[in-house]
Chains A and B, each alone.
Chain A
């Protein structure tokens, strides 16, 4: 009886559904096969060599472009990068100075409060209330 019902269910599935089911099975199997393929050591070896070749080709192409630009007395990528790096170094120093200034300002504020006999309190009222109002001025705005 049960077998008969199962057969009836099978009969009810349309050809489109059958094709779809078979396709999905095939896709799943292909996906697993590819995942197995990429997890092999030999694929890792292939990937390592390919990466090295791509890096080498990119380096050669970049060097040629840069040399051409330099001979034309135009600023190349290296020049722009060098300038940007100088700016970054300056920003690093500025950040350290800002932090030191903030530390000193905090110390002064704390001393002022203890001198006035008021209880010490950091930041905004409780850090919980109200919108986006920061306890301290936003550094990004400087």
Chain B
């Protein structure tokens, strides 16, 4: 397209561009039909409707405390939930909801020892099974790890961890919050629930030009070329802008334990006076990292391989970003089938014992 053509298309493209941005909040995300199984305070456990369940071991999806779990079910045709249902899995989702000031005392202990544990209990009761697969993404993955390291005799058969922060030594967040001048106690006391927009702003600040400029520049180019990819952009933009508050206690715990003191890998993290020992994790473990992940870089997840005692550990490292790896346009044909294949092999009715795969793959 030459310059004259571009100029002649610009007014119509500008209107289209503005329309895409102005109506992004109307994009429908998380549309796959589901039923409420259990609720407690702001937490809701859902079970996705399906008549194709073939694998007995249910899968519980656990997302981060920031942003919404709708990323698992972004839009029809590009939904990980939809894909898992097609593959015959019984899929549950734990949704942390929108915490408010009254949840200021809700710390990681409450999320792991109460909400997650009770959610798992309800998954088993509802499915009628004795074991399940935990699939955690981002902080959700760390919550799964903490649960596995905290409660030894747990019903988790498989654990899938997607772009999960474990060792935060070299993380950019650590550069920001590890210093004494960042008083996390003061922040947690000032805000009973840390505004989601503030967390989002900090996340975007890690790659300011990419997040605040390049994204929109690419959209503009797409619109100008007559290929706007409206649905994909709006669904992702809607999800990115939907930021639930972070309860003050959970925020304080997360920043202090994971970033200021890096307790998890040092084995110094305790939940309800019981030490979280990653060495207790003997479940089949699938660790997925993204090469270009700036939030949970692979070098921060890799130490986990030496900390768990499972004999069946698979590590997949693929090109992609923290979210793009699982929610990008290529995910459906690249990473999802790999995850589904791994799960299928470990979701059979009779359990042959943990670590039946008896191999470590890297």
Residues of A within 8 A of B (CB): 14-16, 27, 30-31, 34-35, 38-41, 43-45, 47-49, 51-52, 55-56, 58-59, 77, 81, 84-85, 87-88, 91-92, 95, 99, 102, 122-132, 134-136, 138-141
Contacts and interface: CB of A to CB of B under 8 A. Distances in A.
Contact of A51 (B53, B182, B213, B217): B182
Interface residues of B, number: 58
Contacts, number: 147
Contacts of A81: 100-102, 192
B56 A128 contact: yes
A27 B209 contact: yes
A63 to B, nearest CB: 10
Contacts of A44: 175-177, 179, 182
Given A48-B176, A95-B118, A134-B47, A35 B100 contact: no
Given A38-B172, A55-B187, A127 B90 contact: yes
A123 B39 contact: no
A69 to B, nearest CB: 15
B209 A88 contact: no
Looking at chain A's contact residues, the main secondary structure is: helix
A139 B179 contact: no
B256 interface: no
B197 to A, nearest CB: 12
A45 B176 CA distance: 7
B241 interface: no
A30 B118 CA distance: 48
A55 B191 contact: yes
A43 B176 CA distance: 8
Contacts of A58: 190-191
29 contacts: A16-B3, A16-B6, A27-B217, A31-B210, A34-B207, A35-B206, A38-B172, A38-B205, A41-B175, A44-B175, A44-B176, A44-B177, A48-B183, A52-B183, A56-B190, A81-B100, A81-B102, A81-B192, A84-B100, A84-B102, A88-B103, A99-B118, A123-B125, A124-B127, A124-B128, A127-B90, A128-B53, A136-B125, A139-B38
A135 B128 contact: yes
Given A81-B102, A127-B129, A132-B47, A47 B214 contact: no
Contacts of A40: 175
A139 B186 contact: no
Contact of B126 (A31, A51, A123, A125): A123
A94 B118 CA distance: 13
A52 B95 CA distance: 30
B104 to A, nearest CB: 8
B128 A45 contact: no
Contact of A48 (B44, B182, B192, B207): B182
B145 to A, nearest CB: 25
B355 to A, nearest CB: 24
B130 interface: yes
Given A14-B2, A27-B213, A31-B214, A131 B50 contact: yes
Contact of B190 (A15, A39, A55): A55
Given A43-B176, A138-B38, 11 more contacts: A15-B3, A16-B6, A34-B209, A35-B207, A39-B175, A41-B175, A44-B177, A95-B118, A122-B129, A127-B128, A139-B37
Interface string B125-144: 11111100000000000000
Nearest to A44: B176
B125 A102 contact: yes
A45 B130 CA distance: 50
Nearest to B178: A44
B209 A131 contact: no
Nearest to A140: B36
